[in-house]
Amino acid sequence: MTASAIYTGMVVHKRLRPKRHKLRYRVFALLLDLDELPRLSLRWLAVNRWGLLSFRERDHGDGGPLRPWVAARLVEAGMVADGPVRMLCYPRMLGYVFNPLTVYFCYRADGSLSAVIHEVHNTHGERHAYVLPAGEGIVRHSCAKTFFVSPFMPMDCVYNFTISPPAQDVSVAILETDPAGPLLTATFAGDRSELTDAALLRAVLAHPLMTLKVTAAIHWEAVKLLLKGLRVYPHTPKKQSTIG
């Protein structure tokens, strides 16, 4: 049995003000142990090449091998994680993917969780990593927002994370606040399945064109927010630094 797995569940976003807005859709995500990537032998999941489902390291980090990129980010943040690194992300489906958020769970050699990296992608083709300490049990940490994501959200915000690390289930919840208080909640909660060809095929059949639907949903929800009269904030280009 591999540490890598499939998590199937629900994404829910709730905007609290100035207009209430909610979206909810079913997805599946892969938990990939970076040390297992070279040994994965699956018909329906290709690694660093094209496939029905595929995972490419170039979609993350600095576009190169991920193990050294993660190690460098942890060193820059003054953290130690000398054990497995497992990332929760969407796969490419028929060559296409957009990952609004990729979460890296970084462990010590003794199996304890040391750090979590939240890698945020925006629709401008930019990505940014927030590297935060973690501990045992439910992980709670926060950081200031330093990277432009949505044109309907201000930059003067704080992300508050509550995470149940991958086990039989996984959950990632984000409460975004501004100086006036809670502004948005975003959650993913999923149940674990073994990473097998049969499970991958079931996931594809249950979620056809899922990755394309993620991008389509982002733009469709944007139209609805415009119609509700929400303020549009200009894009702030990403700074050179990749951590925050």
pLDDT of residue 239: 63
Query: What would the pLDDT profile of 116-142 be if each residue is shown by its tens digit?
Result: 999 999 999 999 999 999 988 999 999
Token duo for residue 219: 């733009």
Mean pLDDT of 89-106: 97
Query: What would the pLDDT profile of 199-219 be if each residue is shown by its tens digit?
Result: 999 999 999 999 999 999 899
Per the prediction, the chain carries an average pLDDT of 94
Query: What would the pLDDT profile of 145-177 be if each residue is shown by its tens digit?
Result: 999 999 999 999 999 999 999 999 999 999 999
Beta strands in 179-214 (DSSP E): 181-194
Residue with tokens 């699956």: 42
DSSP letters for 35-100: TTGGG---SSEEESS--SEEE-GGGSTTSS-HHHHHHHHHHHTT----S-EEEEEPPEETTB---S
pLDDT of residue 244: 44
Higher-pLDDT residue of 42, 236 = 42
Q: What is the percent of the chain where pLDDT is above 70?
A: 98
Mean pLDDT of 231-244: 70
pLDDT of residue 242: 46
pLDDT of residue 241: 44
The amino acid that residue 31 corresponds to is: L
CA angle 50, 91, 236 (to 5 degrees): 110
Q: Is the dihedral of CA 58, 61, 64, 65 positive or negative?
A: negative
3-state secondary structure of 212: helix
Neighbours of 50 (CB within 10 A): 10
pLDDT of residue 243: 44
Residue with tokens 């980010």: 73
